[in-house]
Amino acid sequence: MGNFGKLILVPTPIGNLGDITLRAISVLKEADIILAEDTRVSSRLLHHFEIDKKLWVHHKFNEHKAVGSLVSKIQEGNKVILISDAGTPGISDPGFLLVRACIENDIEVECLPGPTALIPALAVSGLPTEKFVFEGFLPQKKGRQTRLIQLSEETRTMVFYESPYRLVKCLSQFTEFFGKARNACVCRELSKMFEEIKRGTVEELAQYYTANPPKGEIVIVVEGVSKEDRKSGKTASDE
């Protein structure tokens, strides 16, 4: 790889700043360039840990245009760090395009282990964890119904990210497509002061959040269809 620099993905806390790792702090302090999704959010993080580095904006609106110049910066020998507002870069956040471009140009890519919302939500849900599928955000419009129909046959535990403004709609659609008795867990504001974890059927959760409009970051964990129900062809309309 010659004298190339490298790209390092650094996970940042999803809420509680104490969740950052000592290694992440060290790597950020050694960076030549730090790419941030929102510099206002990341500036507060760096200031808290006394890291005096300039931030470059890297988000979904400019990442296509920025990839080429960033690859050149790394090839010049710069150590480029990518962070997102919260969690691991590239997981429902910008990062994939830059990682792929670096790999195509024989540039070393490294990712530190660290905070992410989906694993704590899955672990605390009480639903089967040996096999699961991460869906991230469902399509908002085009393709949403098609995807829900496909997922109605999924036997593995499913993990979704959702906006608090669309949570009730999402849970209501799960009731429609998965059946009102399907078990689920909604995790809100994980690791933060007002963390909330609610378990129940998708119908019960839809009713709860209709009466109690949610705020903050949301992760939904939903059990897969039982093999018996799938084999028998039982659908949501049968309930």
Model pLDDT for residues 125-158, shown as the tens digit of each residue: 999 999 999 999 999 989 999 999 999 999 999 9
Q: Which fold has domain 6-111?
A: Cobalt-precorrin-4 Transmethylase; domain 1 (3.40.1010)
* Residue 91, pLDDT above cutoff 50: yes
pLDDT > 70 in the chain, percent: 94
Residue 73 banded pLDDT, cuts 50, 70, 90: very high
**pTM to 2 decimal places:** 0.91
Strand segments (E) across the chain: 6-9, 33-36, 55-57, 79-82, 108-111, 132-136, 157-162, 183-188, 196-201, 218-222
Quote the CA–CA distance of 2 and 237 in Å, as a whole number: 61
Q: Which of left, alpha, beta for 191 (phi over 0: left; psi -120 to 50: alpha)? A: left
- Per-domain residue ranges for the chain? 6-111, 118-238
Q: What is the pLDDT of residue 63?
A: 86
The answer to whether the 6-111 and 118-238 domains have the same CATH topology is: no
| CATH class, 118-238 region | alpha beta
Using CA atoms, how far apart are residues 17 and 14, in angstroms rounded to an integer? 8
Which single residue is written with the structure tokens 């660290």?
114
Residue 237 clears pLDDT 80, i.e. is over it:
no
What does the pLDDT read at residue 232?
Answer: 65
Q: How far apart are CA 6 and CA 113, in angstroms?
A: 17
pLDDT for residue 234 is more than 80: no
Instruction: Tell me the average pLDDT across 23-45.
Output: 96
State residue 74's pLDDT score.
96
Q: Which two tokens stand for residue 88?
A: 């691991």
> What residues have CB less than 8 Å from 151, skipping those under 6 apart?
135, 158, 177, 178
Residue 52 — pLDDT band, cuts 50, 70, 90?
very high
What is the token pair recorded at 92? 């429902």
- Give the pLDDT of residue 2: 47
